[in-house]
Structure 1
């Protein structure tokens, strides 16, 4: 049966009824893919690489998945499984804070994960559990389903966007060989010309007065400040 004609991954039994019993599991396939992606990036994940990681032939992977897209689904669901055991606070604001912080921590642990999380929903068991959990803070708030989805989507977009900014800063440091402090010192040489030109009064004020860009915990500060503004926006639209 062609790969596109097969039932969705999560509707197929993990072990087929015909042929020899598989030597591995979907869990092992996912863990191998995560190991590769964490160290080399998502582009390095392939059927051949995972087979080599498992010590098996590439063709044997087709006992577990029909294409690479299904490997990515397994990987994404496995990462979400790291959050199992999460208990959310009763207050909806505190619950959403917890969700946002966990999403950020998970994405920073697995830098490739935001690209998957930003795409189509994953319907694996861990992902379904997480979706159900993230919907629960809105219980009793008299929200329509579209409003509920808009709130969660706004929160998720903020977290994933912030994480991508953090990772871009880390990548810039790697490529340039300059720490944030070294880069700020070097750019500071350009400061007097910017401020002295008189053309950028708003930017000049930021350059003179802003403290957060120089703080060691600037990423945490920006994340928490942005998160509070997202929560304020959600609160403003509640019935």
Structure 2
């Protein structure tokens, strides 16, 4: 059931997921599904846990900074692979077996650091918020490209027509610097560059709150 729901959401979006569609994909009647779940929300939780199972096999090194990089990158890759996931995973925690396994693994990054439970949760929450925020931006860019029919390069070229007027107006000196000097928005790997740059800043912030002996 969860596998069928994931497949439908990946192909058509979360709004396409219904008990009827899942039943049709499984070749069974809709009412038969209610032998196993009480409502659609239960299926959505199972879908999230199914996707989190893709992270099984992740091995950490014991270096907290390297391990949080690994966690952040894997979360980004998984969310981009399943664009519907951020909407479901940014709310209440999922307590399925795969989700619990992942939470336990993430918490193990802080072993031996003499942090309180709330401090560990704050660290992981900050990292997760950054990753989901970046992913939503990437997904929004993809959706804008789909709606407009313009690639990022075509859109940038179109917007470039307004650059001289903005700079010459003298009203936006800081943004004018962005227009003239910024390289990342034009790079083919701009999303990866922005993600990695932001990730390092998040990790620097977390490092500032670790006990001095660490």
Q: How does 1:54-65 map to 2 (within 5 A)?
A: 54-65=26-37
The match for 1:40 among 1, 4, 12 is 12
The match for 1:200 among 168, 172, 178 is 172
SS at match of 1:63: coil
Q: How does 1:100-115 map to 2 (within 5 A)?
A: 100-115=72-87
Q: How does 1:122-161 map to 2 (within 5 A)?
A: 122-161=94-133
Number of aligned positions between the proteins: 211
| 2:137 corresponds to | 165
Q: Offset at 1:64?
A: 1.3
The match for 1:183 among 128, 143, 155 is 155
What is the rounded CA distance, in whole Å, between the counterparts of 2:46 and 2:177 in structure 1?
49
SS at match of 1:119: coil
Q: Offset at 1:134?
A: 0.4
What is the rounded CA distance, in whole Å, between the counterparts of 1:124 and 1:206 in structure 2?
45
SS at match of 2:108: helix
| 2:71 corresponds to | 99
> Deviation string for 1:162-184 (max 9, x for gaps)?
00000000000000000000001
What is the rounded CA distance, in whole Å, between the counterparts of 1:75 and 1:196 in structure 2?
52
| 2:51 corresponds to | 79
**Whose relative contact order is higher, 1 or 2, with alpha carbons under 8 Å and at least 6 apart?**
2
What is the rounded CA distance, in whole Å, between the counterparts of 1:141 and 1:235 in structure 2?
11
Q: Offset at 1:63?
A: 1.2
> Deviation string for 1:103-140 (max 9, x for gaps)?
00000000000111101111000011000000011001
SS at match of 2:60: coil
SS at match of 2:150: coil
Stretches of structure 1 lacking an aligned partner (at least 5 in a row):
1-28
Q: With structure 1 as the length reference, what TM-score do the two structures score?
A: 0.88
What is the rounded CA distance, in whole Å, between the counterparts of 1:39 and 1:89 in structure 2?
35
What is the rounded CA distance, in whole Å, between the counterparts of 1:161 and 1:89 in structure 2?
26
Runs of 4+ aligned residues of structure 1 deviating over 2 Å after TM superposition are: none
Q: Which has the larger radius of gyration?
A: 1
What is the rounded CA distance, in whole Å, between the counterparts of 1:169 and 1:73 in structure 2?
27
Q: With structure 2 as the length reference, what TM-score do the two structures score?
A: 0.98
